[in-house]
Amino acid sequence: MYRAPIVLSLLFSIHSGSAQQYVFLRHTPEDGLAQSQVRCMTQDASGHLWFGTLGGASRFDGVVFDNYALQEGLPDAQVNALCAMPDGSLWMGTGGKLVHHEGGRIQVVELPSSTSNARVNSLVIGPQGALVAGTAGGGVLL
């Protein structure tokens, strides 16, 4: 009667003892990250990691952070959404605007006037490779 729970406990403990160990590395503004509150992240076609923060966007190559903020042309320091495109470009969603980053150049794209105050919260690649933006209060933009 008590044998089954004991055998099951032993089996589960043996299995958990062989579980894979994970290593986490912490990166902060002291390491070069734009700001400590990360809102979103993605990986681009060249393997760089991008982080959207309350202080701009950070691109990480595994060693060094390159930051993009107001002084680099972002219309808003808060980057809420990121979407890496297959062509190597990157879209950023901020408070009421989209930002297209390609080849080191930044282009600000205004949203339609009916959604100009809507914060962009999410970006995905939709049908036929089109960018789809989800907003706070402005609906979905295709």
Q: Read off the tokens for 36.
A: 């400590």
Domain ranges of the chain: 29-141
Check whether 19 has a pLDDT greater than 60: yes
What is the layout of strands, in order, in the sheet containing 56-60?
38-43, 49-53, 56-60, 65-68
Mean pLDDT (the chain) is 87
Higher pLDDT, 32 or 119: 32
Question: Does domain 29-141 fall into CATH 2.130.10.10?
Answer: yes
d(CA 124, CA 28): 27
- Looking at 4-8, 41-45, 59-63, 82-86, which range is the least confident one? 4-8
**pLDDT score, position 16:** 53
Check whether 21 has a pLDDT greater than 80: yes
Check whether 115 has a pLDDT greater than 80: no
> Across residues 20-27, what is the average pLDDT?
91
**Would the pTM of this model clear 0.85, i.e. be above it?**
no
**pLDDT score, position 118:** 81
Residues listed for the chain: 142
Higher pLDDT, 20 or 37: 37
**pLDDT score, position 104:** 87
Do the Cβ atoms of 80 and 120 come closer than 8 Å? Answer: yes
Q: pLDDT band for 84, please (50, 70, 90 cuts).
A: very high
SS3 sequence of the chain:
CCHHHHHHHHHHHHHHHCCCCCCCCCCCHHHCCCCCCEEEEEECCCCCEEEEECCEEEEECCCCEEEECHHHCCCCCCCCEEEECCCCCEEEECECEEEEEECCEEEEEECCHHHCCCEEEEEEECHHHCEEEEEECCCEEC
> Across residues 83-110, what is the average pLDDT?
93
**pLDDT score, position 34:** 96
